[in-house]
């Protein structure tokens, strides 16, 4: 594939990224892609998986955690950002085809911009992670919609609930979002009477057995029928402690009561699992009761 600098310039303008240093990093990455044959071939393959594949191969990319796992070699790490930027034309087309309102268009452009710049977590990393690249591609492919506090992903036989970072998990806002989502899910996903699921460390049976039962996390947890999923340590480090790795759990910060509780569990090597949740029947259009 041949990447033109003008396409990146237009994408940066579209997502309102004005940082000159950011643009220059994109340029250097593009030069590598255009001159290193193996890098170019693999970039085209990943682009096709992100934007043209109809076999859900994109979902297999979640298991890739490093540049070497994704590309086979250590190439310019800014390629994850470049691949998202290359999807901007498709993003424009998809939002028009779905007849998104102007408010929705600006919101979803903002979500991709946050993905590209790491703003949503308050971090400034050298390059975005593979998981963030996939997340941005989901928005570009209009596989996600946002209704109030929550986001919803169209899956093969259900709708998956996602919880964006950035504000507290107010239970009333959660219920308002779930109830209001039925309209947009039917409109944009063409799905009626679907099952809602959510996979999250917030639904961890182990975490919810030790936290305050009146907390927003606990109230959210009780909306679901939950079973244990895989280990949650990586997500806890990422979303609770804002780090990717930790060699010594004793060094973890303790600024919040949740951090103190989970730090203790990690130090004591207690098992903490992701919660796989299915929204309980009767939750929709029903007031929440503790």
For domain 196-279, give the fold.
Answer: Aminopeptidase (3.40.630)
Residue boundaries of the structural domains of the chain: 5-142, 196-279
Give SS3 for 143.
coil
CB 98 within 8 A of CB 22: no
Question: Which residues lie below 8 Å from residue 243, measured CB to CB, with a gap of 6+?
Answer: 237
Q: Is residue 178 classed exposed, middle or buried when 0-12, 13-18 and 19+ CB atoms within 10 A define those classes?
A: buried
CA nearest 263: which of 249, 277, 247, 279?
A: 249
Q: What is the pLDDT along the chain (290 residues), one digit of tens a residue?
A: 999 999 999 999 999 999 999 999 999 999 999 999 999 999 999 999 999 987 678 888 888 888 899 899 999 999 999 999 999 999 999 999 999 999 999 999 999 999 998 744 445 556 788 888 999 999 999 999 999 999 999 988 899 999 988 788 999 999 999 999 999 999 999 988 899 999 999 999 999 999 999 999 999 999 999 999 999 999 999 889 988 889 999 999 999 999 999 999 999 999 999 999 999 987 766 554 43
d(CA 74, CA 77): 8
d(CA 276, CA 199): 5
């Amino acid at each position: 594939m041949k990447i033109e600098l003008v396409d990146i310039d237009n994408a940066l303008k579209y997502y309102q990224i004005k940082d000159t240093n950011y643009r220059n990093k994109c340029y250097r990455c593009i030069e590598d892609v255009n001159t290193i044959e193996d890098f170019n071939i693999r970039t085209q393959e990943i682009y096709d998986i992100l934007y043209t594949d109809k076999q859900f191969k994109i979902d297999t990319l979640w298991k890739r955690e490093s540049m070497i796992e994704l590309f086979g070699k250590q190439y310019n790490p800014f390629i994850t950002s470049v691949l998202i930027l290359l999807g901007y034309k498709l993003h424009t087309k998809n939002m028009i085809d779905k007849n998104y309102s102007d408010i929705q268009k600006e919101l979803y452009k903002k979500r991709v911009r946050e993905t590209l710049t790491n703003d949503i977590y308050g971090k400034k990393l050298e390059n975005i992670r593979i998981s963030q690249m996939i997340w941005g591609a989901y928005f570009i492919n209009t596989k996600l919609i946002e209704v109030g506090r929550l986001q919803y992903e169209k899956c093969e036989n259900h709708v998956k609930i996602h919880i964006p970072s950035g504000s507290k998990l107010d239970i009333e806002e959660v219920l308002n979002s779930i109830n209001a989502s039925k309209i947009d899910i039917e409109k944009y996903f063409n799905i009626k009477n679907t099952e809602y699921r959510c996979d999250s460390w917030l639904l961890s049976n182990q975490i919810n057995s030790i936290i305050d039962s009146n907390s927003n996390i606990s109230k959210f947890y009780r909306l679901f029928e939950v079973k244990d999923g895989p280990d949650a340590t990586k997500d806890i480090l990422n979303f609770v402690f804002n780090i990717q790795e930790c060699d010594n759990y004793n060094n973890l910060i303790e600024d919040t009561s949740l951090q103190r509780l989970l730090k203790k569990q990690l130090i004591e090597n207690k098992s903490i699992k992701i919660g796989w949740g299915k929204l309980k029947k009767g939750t929709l259009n029903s007031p929440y009761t503790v």
